[in-house]
Amino acid sequence: MHKRNFEASTNLLALKKSAIQVCGQEFIDSLTKKGIYAKDIGFWLEVNKQLNISDDAYEVRKAEEEAKREQEMLEKRLKVSTNR
């Protein structure tokens, strides 16, 4: 889930190179020196913490997308019903 929060918040794939892009090489190197690697949950916890990404960023984004889809469907229905 932590990778999904990163992806939802940054619109980047949850890859080490993406983390380097947004957090900087120095920060990622400091995690590696501590033995925390991109394959570990702890890595993404630290990256998300560094970027102030909330623990529910993925769920929030999905809810926003669903609300947008519903709004678009309602607008289409309204448009169709007013064209009759």
**Average pLDDT, whole number, for the chain?**
93
Give the integer Cα–Cα distance in Å for 28 and 47.
8
34-43 — which CB contacts under 8 Å span 24+ positions?
41/2, 43/19
**pTM for the model:** 0.79
CA-to-CA dists, residue 36 to 10, 17, 24, angstroms: 21, 15, 15
Residue type, 50: Q
% of the chain exceeding 90 in pLDDT: 87
Q: What are phi and psi of 13, to 5 degrees?
A: -65, 150
pLDDT at 67 over 70: yes
Q: Which residues fall within 8 angstroms of residue 74, CB to CB, at 6 or more apart?
A: none
- Tens digits of residue pLDDT in 47-60: 999 999 999 999 99
Domain boundaries, the chain: 2-82
